[in-house]
Structure 1
Amino acid sequence: FNKAWERVANQQKKNDRLREQIKTFAEQVSEAVEQQEKAHVTTLYQSCEHLLVFYGRKSLAAWQREVLMEWILDYIDTITRNPFAGGIDLAALYQAMDATMEKIHPEAFDPFQDDEPHSEHDFFDEMADEDDASIFEKLFSDFQDDPRFDEFFREQESREQQLKDDQQSFNKLMKGGSINKLFRRVARVLHPDREQDEKARQEKNRLMSELIEARDNNDITTLFAFYAEYVGQSPLEELGGDLTDATQLLNRQYAQLRSQHADILHEDPKTAALYQRFHKKTIKASQREINTHLENLQQDINNLTLFCKEVTSLNKLKPYLQMRWEHFNEERW
C-alpha cells in the first residue's frame, strides 16, 4: 500500500509540475505576443473589408471573382484559427459578404427566405455542405477499413470498463466503512464552522470543497493526502480489511496518471498551441522564436496596410489576382 500510494503521489506531482510548466510558459508567450497578434487579426479583418469592395465590381471576370473570394476566405480562416482573435466579431463581415454575394449572384439566394440576417454559418457553409458530407463519408469509410479502427474502439471500451471498475472498487471501499471514516475525520478537522477568523474560514471552505470533490471523483489519492496532512496519521492504520482493495485502486490510478501525463499538453487548446509553437530546448532559443515571430507579424501588418493604401482600383488589384491564380494552378499541378 505504501509503495502504491508513494508512486501515485509522485506521479501526481510530476503531472502537476508539467502542467504548471506548460501554463507558465504559455502565459509568458501570451504576454509577449498578444498585442501584436491582435493587431495582426485586426489588420486582416480590415483587409477583408477592403477586398470585399472589389468583389461587387461588375467588370470582374468569373475567375477573378473566384480568386478574390478565396483570398478573403483565406484571411478569415487565419483569423478564426488565431487564439487571440476572440475580440474579432465576424458577424458584420459575414453579413456584408452575404449582401454582396446576393447582389452579384441573386440566383444563389432563395427569394422566399425570411428577413432574418444570415449567420456566419448560413450561405458559405451551405455551399460546402454537400462536399463536406461526401468527404466525411469517405473519411469514415477509410477509417473503418483501417486496421486501427478496431483497436481504437477496443481502447475506448477498455477505458470505459476501467472507469466502471474504479467506481465499483470505490463504492466497495466506501461500503466497507474505512474510506468513509477517513473522509469524516478529515472533514471534522476542516469544517469551517469551527473557525472564528474570516480568512481562516474561507480557507477551510476551499479545502472542504476540494475534499468533497476528491470523494465525488473517487480520488482516494487526495483523500489519503488530506488525511495524512490534516489528521497527522498514515491512512494505512484506518484501512484495515480494505487495504487490498485500496492498493489495487491506487495501482489503477497510477496507470491513469501516467496516461494523463502524455495528454496534459492538450488540456487547453490555446496553451497547447503556444507551447508547441514556441517552446524550444533552451530559454534563449524560445525567445529567438518569439522575436522572429513578432518581426514577421509586424512585416505582414506593414504589407497589408500598404496594400490597402495603394490598391484602390481594379487595375491595381488585377495583377495580384493574376499572381494568386497562377500560384493556385501551380499548387494544383
Structure 2
Amino acid sequence: MKIVISQNRARAAQKSPIQKRFERLSRKLLELRRHNQDFERELNELVGLYSDYSRQQDEAQLDTLKALAQKLIVFASRKSLADWHRDELGHWLGQLVSKIAAFDRQAAAALDLDYQAALAKSMDMTLEEMQQELHYALSDFEAFFDTNPNQAEADWDETEDDEGLQDDLFGFDGLHKDTDPPWADAWEDDPAQQEEDRFEPAHRQDKNPMDSDWVKQLFRKAAQALHPDREQDEDKRAIKQQQMTQLLKARKQGDLMTLLSIYSEHIDERGIEIAEQEMAQICALLEEQIEELAFERATYACTHPVRYQVYQTLYASDAESRQEKIEDWKQALAEQAQAEARLLDSLKNLSQLRQALRERQQQRYYADPSLFGF
C-alpha cells in the first residue's frame, strides 16, 4: 500500500520531505517487526532445546539427585545451623525435589515429608506438632485480615514521619493536595511554555490519525470485504475470520500499517492521497510504534522465568554465537553433574556442608544479586 501527499501534477514527480520521512519510517517499522518475529522464533526454539536437554540430564542422574537430597535432609535436623544455612539448604533441596518430581512424584513427596520432619526435629517438635503450629498461625493470620482488611494501613501513623520536621515557613501546608496552586492559571499564559508546546509532536497536539475520517472509511470498507458471514465456502470463511480478527486488532492497537496492508490486499492496490498535516500525524504515530517495538523484544524475553533464563544463558543474535553458548551450557551441565556426584561422596560433616552452602550462595548472588536485596 502506497500513501502519498495530495499535490498537483507538477509536483507529483518530486517527493516532499514528509513523504520521504514516511517511507523511511515505514521501512524501519516493517524491519523491526521482522526482527522481533525472528527473535521470538529463535528464543522459543532455544526454550524447547533447554527444556528437553535439561530433562534428559536430570533423568540420567536421578539416583544421584535422590541420594544427595536424602543426605541434605539428614543435615537439616542439626540445631547448629545458622538461619542463612537453613535458607540456602531449603533452596537447594527445593531444586533437587523439583527435578525428582518430574520423573518420580512419589519419591519427591516422600522426600518433602522427610524434610519437614527434619525441620521439626531441629525445633524439638514432632512433625504433627509443627504442622499444627503452622496451621494455627495461618488460621490466625487469615482471620485477622478477614476481620480487619484495612488494619495494615491503619497501623501506619502519618504523624510518626512528621516528628522532628521543621515547621512550615511558607504556608504550603494549608493548600489542599487536590486543588491547583494559586499560580496554576498563570502557567498557560507563560510564553516559555507556549513555545515548548509549539514543538510538541503533532500527534500530541492533534487527534490520533486512527480517528481520521479517511482511516475510518478504509476500515469500514475492509471490514465489509472481510465479513465472514458473507462467505459461503468454509475454508475461505475461516481465512476471512482470521483476517477480520487481525483487522480489529490493528484498529485497537493503532496499527495503521497493518490496516493499510489489509486494505490494499482486499480493496484497492492503488495509492491513497492524504493531506500533509495528516501525513505528519501518521509519521508521529509510526515513530511511537517503532519505540514500542524496541520494548516488545525485552518484554517478551523477561515476562517468563524460563524464557528469561534461556535468554540470559543461550541467546545470541547470530547462529554461530548461539551454538557456542549451547555447547558451553551443555559442558557446564556435565561439570555440574560430576560435581554433585563428587559432593555426594565427600559431604560427611557440617563443616563440609557449610562450605558447600557458602559456595552455592555466592554462585546465586553473582547470577542475580537482586535475590539478596541488592
Q: TM-score range by the shorter chain?
A: 0.5 to 0.7
Residues 93-102 or 209-218, more deviating: 93-102
Uncovered stretches (5+) of structure 1, i.e. residues with no partner: 119-160
Segment of structure 1 superposing worse, 280-289 or 211-220 = 280-289
In 2, Cα distance between equivalents of 1:26 and 1:328: 28
Q: Which residue of 1 aligns with 2:258?
A: 222
2:135 aligned partner: 114
Question: In the alignment, which residue of structure 2 is the partner of 1:37?
Answer: 54
Whether the 8 Å CA contact 2:88–2:357 is kept in 1: the answer is: no
In structure 1, the partner of 2:29 is 12
Q: 1:286 to 1:78 in 2, by over 3 A?
A: farther
Q: Per-residue deviation at 1:209?
A: 0.7
Residue 63 of structure 1: how far off its partner (Å): 3.5
In the TM superposition, what is the alpha-carbon distance from 1:307 to its structure 2 partner? 3.9
Number of positions where the alignment pairs a residue of Structure 1 with one of Structure 2: 272
Aligned positions of 1:206-217 closer than 5 A:
206-217=242-253
Say if 2:122 is the partner of 1:104: yes
Query: Is residue 304 of structure 1 aligned with residue 340 of structure 2?
Result: yes
Provide structure 2 residue ranges, at least 5 long, that are not aligned to the other structure: 5-18, 140-199, 366-374
**SS of 2:223's equivalent?**
helix
Does 1:55 pair with 2:75?
A: yes
Contact 2:75 2:350 in 1 (8 A): no
Contact map agreement 1:191 1:204 (CA 8 A) in 2: yes
Instruction: Note closer, same or farther for the CA distance 1:100–1:250 as it changes in structure 2 (3 Å cut).
Output: farther
The alpha-carbon deviation at position 305 of structure 1 amounts to 4.4
Equivalent residue for 1:256, pick from 278, 285, 288: 288
Correspondence list, 1:83-98, <5 A:
97-98=115-116
Spell out the pairing of 1:136-285 with structure 2 (5 A cutoff).
Answer: 165=204, 168-170=207-209, 172-173=211-212, 177-234=213-270, 236-237=272-273, 239=274, 243-244=275-276, 246-268=278-300, 269=302, 270-280=306-316, 282-285=318-321
- 8 A Cα contact 1:192 1:204, kept in partner: yes
Secondary structure at the aligned position of 2:208 is classed as helix
Q: Deviations over 1:114-141 (max 9, x none)?
A: 37999xxxxxxxxxxxxxxxxxxxxxxx
CA 330–259 in structure 1, closer or farther in 2 if over 3 Å, else same: closer
Deviation of 1:74 (Å):
4.6
CA distance in 2, matches of 1:328, 1:275: 22
What is the CA distance between 1:48 and its match in structure 2? 7.0
Shift of residue 202 of structure 1? 0.4
Q: Is the 8 A contact 1:52 1:72 kept in 2?
A: no
Q: For the Cα contact (< 8 Å) 1:183–1:223, is it kept in 2?
A: yes
Q: 1:252 to 1:41 in 2, by over 3 A?
A: farther
Q: Which has the larger radius of gyration?
A: 2
Distance 1:213 1:235, change over 3 A: farther
- Give the direction of change, closer, same or farther, for the CA distance of 1:196–1:263 in structure 2 (3 Å limit): same
Q: Which has the higher helix share?
A: 1
Query: How far apart, CA to CA, are the structure 1 residues paired with 2:34 and 2:100?
Result: 29
Residues 76 and 89, structure 2, Cα contact 8 Å, conserved in 1: no
Shift of 1:223: 1.7
For residues 228 and 183 of structure 1, the distance between their equivalents in structure 2, rounded to whole angstroms, comes to: 11
Counterpart contact for 2:316–2:322, Cα < 8 Å: yes
| Displacement of 1:272 | 4.9
Offset at 1:198?
Answer: 1.3
% identity of equivalent residues:
16
- Once the two structures are superposed, what CA deviation does each residue of 1:58-88 show, in whole Å capped at 9, x if it has no partner? xx351378536523425647999xxx99969
CA distance in structure 2 between the aligned counterparts of 1:276 and 1:328, rounded to whole angstroms: 19
Distance in 1 (CA, whole Å) between partners of 2:132 and 2:314 is: 50
Structure 1 position 32, deviation (Å): 3.2
1:206-225 per-residue CA deviation (whole Å, 9 max, x = no partner) reads 00111111122222222222
Q: 1:182 Cα deviation (Å)? A: 0.9
Question: 1:203 deviation in Å?
Answer: 0.5
RMSD: 4.5
Q: Identify if the C-alpha distance between structure 1 residues 113 and 274 changes in structure 2 by more than 3 Å, giving closer, same or farther.
A: closer
